[in-house]
Every structure is written in C-alpha cells, then in structure tokens.
Amino acid sequence: MSATIVDVSQPITDHEVNAIRRDFPALLESVNGEPLAYLDSAATAQRPHAVLDAERHFLEHHNAAVHRGAHTLAGLATEAYEDARSTVAAFVGAGPDEVVWTANATDALNLVAYGFANASHGRGGAAARRFALAPGDEIVVTEAEHHANLVPWQELAAVTGATLRFIPVNDSGVYSVGDAAAVLSSRTRIVALAHVSNVTGFVAPVAEIVALAHARGALVVLDACQSAPHRALDLPGLGVDFAAFSGHKMLGPTGIGVLYGRAELLDALPPFRTGGSMISTVTMTDADYLPAPQRFEAGTPPVSQAIALAEAVRYLQRIGLDRIERREELLAERMLVGLAGIPGIRTIGPGLGVPRAGLVSFDVDGVHGHDVGQYLDARGIAVRVGHHCAQPLHRRLGLISSTRASAYMYTTTDEVDRLLGSAHEVRRYFGAA
C-alpha cells in the first residue's frame, strides 16, 4: 500500500481499495471457479504482505526466547517483542505496562474472570480484595454478548455465589443506556459488554455505561474484538477498566490477543496462570510474582505473533482508522438497504441512520442458514452462518441461526453487490419463494 494517502476525513475510495487489495494475497484466490468475495472478516481478517513478511523476517533473523538468555539474539528478540507491546498499547491509548499478551480475546476475558475468582478465594492479599465477589454481588452482562464474554462470567458467578444479571435487548438486538441503568445497582461489581456486537453491528454507548457503572462502584470489562480492528480506540479515554481484543481480527496472526487493564488494577489482580517467566523468586513452597504485565504471561509467549501484530497496527494506522470506519459504514448501509429490500429476508440489528459496524446478519425465510452459506459459497462468496457464538441473542430474536456478511477496509462495493444479487436468488433456488 503506497504511503501517499489523502484526505483523512473521507472514506477510503473504491480506487484505493483496489490498491489495498493487492497487499492481501488471500484476496486473489478463486473459490469454486469464482473470484473470492471474502465477507467473513468479523470471524477472522486476511493478512497483508507487510504482516506476513514481518513475522517471517523475525523468525528468519532474530528468533530466540525472550526475557531469557544473555546472547545477542535473545536481546534483539526481547527488544522487538517489547517494542511490539508499546506499539499495540499506543494504538489503544494505553501505556506498555497496561497491555498483557494473551492467546486471543477469549483468553484475555478468562484472565480477568479467573483473577476475580482467585481474589474471591483470598489470593492476592489485601490489594486484591477489591476484586473479591461474594453471594449477593452482581455481575452484569448484556443479552447480546459473544459466548467469550458470557461463559467466563457464568463460571465466575458459579464459583463465587455472585448473581449474573442481564441488560435485555429489544427485538432488533439493541439496548439503551436506560435499559442498562435499570439493571445496574449498588450490588453491581462487574459490567461486561461488547463495544460492537458481532451479530447486530450495534455500537454500545460505552462511555455512558462506564459512568453508570463507576457511579455504583463497579468495574467495566469491554469486549473490543469487533471495534479495535475497525475504529480508533482510546481505552483510557473511554474509561473502561479492562478490555480484550484478538490479533487475527485486525490483520494480525492467530495465537495472539490483548488484555488492556488500568495499571493500578493489573498490579492488584491475582494471576490466572502461573509458572515460568512470571515470578521474581520461587522456593519449594512459595513464589513472588513479577509486576504486571509479566505476572500474567506465564510460559513462553507468542513472540513472532506479537511482532506481526504490531506490524498490522502500523498498517491500519497508515490507512487511518477513521477512514476505515467511514468506508465500512458505507458498505454496511449498502448491505442493509439491499438486503432489507429483498422479500423474505429479515435483517438483524439497528436500522438505517443508527450507528452500526460494517456487518449485517440476516435470516432468509424458509431456507436454513447452512443452505444459504453453501449457496453463496458456490458463487465464491464467503459468509458466516450459524449462531456466531451468540446463542442467547439468537434465541431472544426468535432465531436458531443467521447469515452474517462482514466487511473490512479491503471489501469492494462489487463484492457487496454480488452478495445482494445472490441473496435475491436464494429463496427461489430453494423453492421458498
């Protein structure tokens, strides 16, 4: 991608998208004899040459275990690894000691939930008491969460006796600040919510919910999986206490995720995993832990993945997160208008004019989601079908599954139009129209 871009207030143009696409080898694939239309970036994004090359370059020239060994390569590897942490931290407005490397967002959310569980069992001393939960305490989640931001809180409630409460969604899968205010109470200790829903594309009123939660003494855990790749994020500015996102959804590798935590909280939270690399001294019966973030990074970490993720961040920054967000808004609007105009198709999520991310999930009356997915795949169009790891939300919307088309900065309007064209045909093909 050439560095000579452009008016940062404007969405990426079709012309620029064509140039961007040349950076992504996977987008040149053909599927079933058709050019691939990859509309599944909300599941995992494709990776540009710059990211693939960065990982390979590290492995070919500087590969070594980090934070160990006195040799030159180990020093270079450690430097690159910690530089990557600083780059990713700055990307979300945080300091390097506020970023913990994890395996993915799921791992990051579990790290927080298990930290609370360990504190509830007396681990972490006086400093960790603020995380201890007991019967009567409440953990609040929304009805629209990905299982990754629901099941760990179910477990935490089960082991502490705390109560899990839900912010309900309406028939579009959307909720308001008022809906949240009605559920939060002086017993609320944790509020866990997705910044952007992976099913509806709904953008949560995070700052307002943070204000409600903090006024009641609760901590806020943000699932930023579907926002960090697509919009500029200032996590300290938003006021959240913890946040999680995954490298593979933002042009980076699998096997790397990020937990952001306010420094003061990370320093007090008991670790989830223990072992090598996270201790200062160990005796046969006891151990002292390093400060955050190292205290949460037991074992050999995903070094080349962290370095490649930092390269992905630089790539996103070169294009501009605001421009990516604008572009995806336009694509979502095109999908929404097109799909909503097709008889027998019901779109899920906020309607036109309400902020939404670049994805649209829909139900095709009389055709099973997997048939829709196969029909589109036969035409080279890759979408996600199923419950998208959000069974409670689908149940609430009266659905077992849906079809989700998701865009990224490399998605063309032509790909969206191919989706719309095929969606027009699908009910007739299966005899449902």
Verify binding: residue 246, ligand PLP, rule CB under 6 A.
Answer: yes
Residue 260: closest CA among 214, 308, 228: 228
Give Rg (Cα) of the chain: 22
Sheet holding 138-142, edge to edge: 99-102, 257-261, 242-246, 219-223, 188-194, 138-142, 163-167
**Residue range at the interface with ligand PLP (CB under 6 A); choices 144-152, 296-304, 322-330, 392-400:** 144-152
Which pairs count as long-range contacts for 205-208, CB under 8 Å and 24+ apart, including other chains? 205/176, 205/177, 205/180, 206/238, 206/240, 207/238, 207/239, 208/177, 208/180
**Cβ nearer to ligand PLP, comparing 194 with 420:** 194
Question: Would you count residue 305 as binding ligand PLP (CB under 6 A)?
Answer: no
Looking at beta carbons only, is 195 or 323 nearer to ligand PLP?
A: 195
Task: Please check whether residue 403 is in contact with residue 364, taking contact to mean a CB–CB distance below 8 angstroms.
Answer: yes
Other residues' Cβ atoms within 10 Å of the Cβ of residue 69? 13
Residue 46: CA atoms inside 13 Å, Cβ hemisphere, count?
A: 24
CB of 61 vs ligand PLP, minimal distance in Å: 28
> What are the residue numbers of the active site?
389
Task: Indicate whether 225 belongs to the interface with ligand PLP (CB under 6 A).
Answer: yes
As measured in angstroms, the least distance from the Cβ of 389 to ligand PLP is 6
Contact criterion met (CB below 8 Å) for 410 and 1: no
Is residue 136 left, alpha or beta, with left meaning phi > 0 and alpha meaning psi from -120 to 50? left
Binding flag, residue 194, ligand PLP (CB under 6 A)? yes
Cross-strand pairs, 403: 362, 385
Asked whether the beta carbons of 323 and 10 are under 8 A apart, the reply is: yes
CB-nearer residue toward ligand PLP: 247 or 380? 247
C-beta of 240 vs 342, nearer to ligand PLP: 240
Task: Quote the least distance from Cβ 100 to ligand PLP, whole Å.
Answer: 14
- Asked if residue 149 binds ligand PLP (CB under 6 A), the reply is yes
Alpha helices (H) along 98-148? 105-120
Q: Which is nearer to ligand PLP, 1 or 174 (CB)?
A: 174
198 sits near ligand PLP (criterion: CB under 6 A):
yes
Q: Which is nearer to ligand PLP, 226 or 361 (by Cβ)? A: 226
Residue 406 CB, nearest approach to ligand PLP (Å): 9
Q: Could you say whether residue 200 binds ligand PLP (CB under 6 A)?
A: no
Q: Shortest approach of ligand PLP to residue 107 CB, angstroms?
A: 7
Residue of 21, 146, 323, 356 that binds ligand PLP (CB under 6 A): 146
- Rounded to whole angstroms, how far apart are CA atoms 87 and 345? 43
Q: Which of residues 94-113 bind ligand PLP (CB under 6 A)?
A: 104-106
The residue count for binding ligand PLP (CB under 6 A) is 14
41 part of the interface to ligand PLP, by CB under 6 A: no
Distance CA 274, CA 299 (A): 8
Residue 88 CB, shortest distance to ligand PLP, in Å, is 15
Q: In the complex, which residues of this chain contact ligand PLP (CB under 6 A)?
A: 43, 104-106, 146, 148-149, 194, 198, 223, 225-226, 246, 389
